[in-house]
Copies of this chain bind each other. A is one copy, B any other.
Amino acid sequence: MAKALLLDLSGVLYDGDVLLPGALEAVRRVQGSDLEVRFITNTSQKTRVDLLAHLRGFGFSVEEPQLFTAVDAARQWLQQRDLRPFCLVHENIRGEFDDFEQDDPNAVLIADAADGFSYANLNRAFQLCLEGAPLLGVGYNRYFKSGGEVLMDVGAFIVAVEFAAGIKATIVGKPSPEFFHQVLASTSASAEHALMVGDDVFGDVEGALNAGLPACLVRTGKYRPGDEARIDGDFALVDSVAEAVELALAAA
């Protein structure tokens, strides 16, 4: 019985500046039902404020507490430990970390820095980690789709630093079970009564399954034929978020 629906953003609801067909109607439909809806993203090229504006610009109705981002989870993780992060992040979100002391860093945060993934910046992250600084990552995402092009995502750069320094990162976004559970804690649903919908078979689907949530892979966004065979476990495979919503409502 589905009580909560967790929706990934990019590749599920929209692709860059393009709304995906049927997404707006599907989200409206489920928001008119008894299901609680949450928006959950590893995207780290936009601030929380800009993400909300982006969603609302498409016409989505999103209350501020319904949005959960890996960047927020990273902020919390660093704050709780009183760390001074070296932020290898996109220029767009640098301001989200203005309240952290960043001189003489004793931690490394890697988010989707895009062109910020230079040899010099990666070496700085690597050198700190080699000296013992903890490495924090927003996700293990392999690639994402933007404007019809596939681009390397943050996970690739995290594994690069892990490999070079011989360490393991702490991941705060998807596929971390803690992240899914944090989102669930804002609803009245337990894990088995939620449904995670995403286009990333690893971060969204495998992550949700490992956290005890049923999951649904959509054939939009970064989905490539055969992705469903890349992980173990039972999950639904559907053409779009509209079809995922049908599944959730039928199980409600």
Contacts and interface: CB of A to CB of B under 8 A. Distances in A.
A151 interface: yes
Contact of A150 (B127, B152, B160): B127
Contacts of A160: 152, 156-157, 159-160
Interface stretch (A35-43, A45-53, A99-107, A118-126): A118-126
A163 interface: yes
Contact of A163 (B119, B122, B155, B165): B155
Contact of A118 (B119, B142, B159, B161): B119
Contact-residue bracket for chain A: 20 to 34
Interface in A157-175: 157, 159-161, 163-166
Identify which of A126, A149, A163, A165 gathers the most chain B CB atoms within 10 Å of its CB: A163
Protomer copies? 2
A117 interface: yes
25 contacts: A113-B119, A114-B119, A115-B118, A115-B119, A116-B119, A117-B119, A117-B122, A118-B119, A119-B152, A122-B152, A122-B156, A126-B143, A126-B152, A130-B150, A142-B163, A142-B164, A143-B164, A143-B165, A153-B164, A155-B163, A155-B164, A156-B164, A157-B160, A159-B160, A166-B230
Interface of A: 113-120, 122-123, 126-127, 130, 142-143, 149-153, 155-157, 159-161, 163-166, 230
